[in-house]
Amino acid sequence: MTRILGIDPGLTRCGIGVIDVDRLRTLQLVHVDCARTDAGMELAPRLRTIADAIEAAIDEHAPDKIALERVFAQHNVRTVMGIAQISGVILVAADRRGIPIELRTPSEVKAAVTGYGAADKAQVGEMVRRILRLTEVPKPADAADALALAICAAWRTPVEAASRESRAAAPAERAAGALTPAQRAWLAAERTSRGRR
């Protein structure tokens, strides 16, 4: 069993989601939350508030790895700066505890969870709900996005490991179609990506 903490960084709302994944790629929700700060606060206390929430989640749930949204260029420079600042806080917290961290772009996460790299937040949230067998979509969207990051990381590593290890060990699983549609889309995207290198 592997435990993954997904974090959707932001100064106003920082999504936090923890899932467990087993060797059959079955996912289970462990924890979901959203740390919030007031836009009127000074920067340092806002960063400290988010840092405290992230560190509390790490210490309580002891993840084996962390999946973090990669900072990407967009028109709103203030938003990019906030994401970059929170990402730095998270990178330091993970490094202090020796936890490996993976950076994922939004399009990677959307493709992994929905099979479509330009899916909207509603589509991502609904797929998170279905994948984790929840009764409702996690709110706010930042919380669902954090879980989507964790799902992306969970599926990628076990699927790669399975492709190396399970030729003889799990033929029945493969024959039974153990992969979900989103996982099959992820593998197809990975094969295409490798072909371009």
Q: Is 55 annotated as a binding residue?
A: no
Residues in Cβ contact with 104 at an 8 Å cutoff, skipping those fewer than 6 apart: 67, 68, 69, 70, 149, 152, 153
| Catalytic residue chosen out of the listed positions 20, 69, 108, 145 | 69
Decide if 8 is catalytic.
yes
Q: What are phi and psi of 65, to 5 degrees?
A: -155, 165
Tell me how many degrees the CA angle 58-60-64 measures, rounded to the nearest 5.
50
Q: Is 8 annotated as a binding residue?
A: yes
Q: Is 95 annotated as a binding residue?
A: no
Decide if 120 is catalytic.
no
| Catalytic residue chosen out of the listed positions 8, 20, 108, 145 | 8
What is d(CA 60, CA 41) in angstroms, rounded to the nearest whole number?
27
At which residue do the structure tokens 């959307």 appear? 110
Decide if 60 is catalytic.
no
Using only C-alpha atoms, what is the Rg of the chain? 17
| Catalytic residue chosen out of the listed positions 20, 108, 142, 145 | 142
The annotation places the binding site for Mg(2+) at 8, 69, 142
**Catalytic center residues:** 8, 69, 142
Residue numbers belonging to the annotated binding site: 8, 69, 142
